Amino acid sequence: MSELQGRAIALLLERFPVADELGRLFAGAGFELHLVGGSVRDALLGRLGEDLDFTTDARPEDILRLVKPWGQGTWETGIDFGTVGVLKGGLRLEITTFRSDVYDGETRNPTVSFGDSLDGDLLRRDFAVNAMAVSLPGHEFTDPFGGLAQLARRELDTPGLPEDSFRDDPLRMLRAARFTSQLGFAVTPWVRAAMVARADDITRITVERIATELSKLLLGATPRAGLVLLTDTGLAGHVLPELPALMLEKDEHHQHKDVYQHSLTVLDQAIALEQDGPDLTLRLAALLHDIGKPATRRFEAGGGVSFHHHEVVGAKMVRRRMRELKFPKQLIEDVATLTFLHLRFHGYGSGVWTDAAVRRYATDAGPLLDRLNKLVRADCTTRNQRRRQTLQRSYDDLEHRIAELSAAEDLAKVRPDLDGNAIMELLGVGPGPVVGKAWKFLKELRLERGPLPREEAEVELYKWARDEGLVP
């Protein structure tokens, strides 16, 4: 390890003196303690984080005995797998007994077996860059599988044979794609080959864990690289089959944009528009906005290709896939709504949008308006610079009109000019479906004509009620 890298580790331990304090506690009881995994890796990459993971030769009951009087709280949810959590100085620390697990190759759950050596524990880690350790409080660096060299080459390799590693825990294949996105690393050719060979094993993993890894991948610095790895190795076919399905077969007589590459480019461009950090909702919508195209592709006379109503089909597909992955309900609805609305902008540049159309665009998007604006901007992937500039001017103009109408009418809070109580009083009806229909009519009127004086709104309500046969 170079002097610079040694200094990085020293900075980590200076920032978190609790690590050495914990090391002295264990050493005083006759046990080893090592800082391990992502904590060491990120320190060497100059990415000091808040997560501190430790490994020790102490058994779980000994760990608990030591840390209970020392920490400010403990948790034992992982104790069956040798992990004890402890809260100290606002930090959540996890301490795990050396492991030398045995897997049956059928499930992801190992037969837990505690080990007696640090090297044996590091061997069972997912990648060599996560199999480096620093002893505490002695600060001796251990790297039995060349993780430091791989860190310098920015590559991912497994401590042992990748086929065995992925058979033991198929989730590691998704972690490879996630680290490709988060760290900008590339897998070695033999790791890639093992991912292809064992891609089917990912079906042993619960959908909740798959969704977690996909989310972390998408929130990384370069999600495109991770998604391409998933697709090229066949893993995407199991965890997100709509993605490789975008690689539509070309027809020599009917040419259209490569939907797969287009979607990845839209994702890149949406990320470039983010202002407050990674936005999972926007990134999912950018990636999935065109997943309805394969099902709606039609070859037209003269060599054209159409994808009519792909936004409608796509929104349904988004809901189905995200529900299967058990994403949160609000996230599902937001991504589906953005998918459904992403074509609404097209046609604006012709200059025929009335104020009513602008109001509808803004109110239909609701709290997703800012994300929708980003999505439609990102959806422009044409190489024709003149067309690109024209579209950008149209986006700017629409956002300007929305801002003007919002300032005048508070579009974020568009409501009918008469509330439910006024409707019941004027029509002489009680609560029920009539009130709902009247409210919907007045809402449409409000969108079409903007705010109305109360007297005018009442006149319009009476006209509607007469036409509906509700009043004489």
Segment 439-467 mean pLDDT:
82
436 alpha-carbon distance from chain centroid: 37
pLDDT given for residue 350 in this prediction: 60
Residues 266 and 362 in one domain: yes
Cα–Cα distance between 312 and 293 in angstroms, integer? 10
Confidence class for position 192, pLDDT limits 50, 70, 90: very high
The residue to which tokens 């200094």 are assigned:
7
Please tell me which residue, 397 or 210, carries the higher pLDDT value.
210
β-strand pairing of 305-306 with 298-299? antiparallel
The enclosing domain of 403 has a CATH number of 1.10.3210
**What domain range includes position 87?**
1-153
DSSP codes of every residue in 365-405: HGGGHHHHHHHHHHT---S-HHHHHHHHHHHHHHHHHHHHH
Distances (CA, A) of 249 to 261, 297, 305, 308: 13, 11, 13, 18
Cα–Cα distance between 41 and 145 in angstroms, integer? 13
Single pTM value for the model: 0.81
Q: Final residue of a domain: which of 371, 395, 413?
A: 413
Does some domain include residue 195? no
Residue 110's nearest CA partner among 43, 198, 170, 55 is 170
Does some domain include residue 128? yes
CA dihedral 423, 429, 434, 436 (to 10 degrees): 40
Does some domain include residue 188? no
Does residue 72 contact residue 80 with C-beta atoms inside 8 Å? no
Domain count, the chain: 3
Does residue 132 contact residue 147 with C-beta atoms inside 8 Å? yes
Does some domain include residue 324? yes
pLDDT given for residue 392 in this prediction: 82
pLDDT given for residue 314 in this prediction: 95
pLDDT given for residue 194 in this prediction: 98
351 sits in the region (left: phi over 0; alpha: psi -120 to 50; else beta) called left
pLDDT given for residue 408 in this prediction: 59
pLDDT given for residue 345 in this prediction: 83
Q: Residue 338 has which token pair?
A: 């953005």
Segment 371-376 mean pLDDT:
94
pLDDT given for residue 342 in this prediction: 92
The enclosing domain of 26 has a CATH number of 3.30.460.10
In tens, the pLDDT along 327-365 reads: 999 999 999 999 999 988 876 656 667 777 888 888 888
Query: Lowest mean pLDDT: which of 165-169, 237-241, 405-409?
Result: 405-409
In tens, the pLDDT along 59-82 reads: 999 999 999 999 999 999 888 889
Q: Final residue of a domain: which of 153, 187, 207?
A: 153
In tens, the pLDDT along 377-431 reads: 999 888 888 888 888 888 888 888 888 777 656 655 566 767 888 888 888 888 8
pLDDT given for residue 453 in this prediction: 83
Q: 172 pLDDT exceeds 70? A: yes
Q: Round the average pLDDT of the chain to a whole number and report it.
A: 88
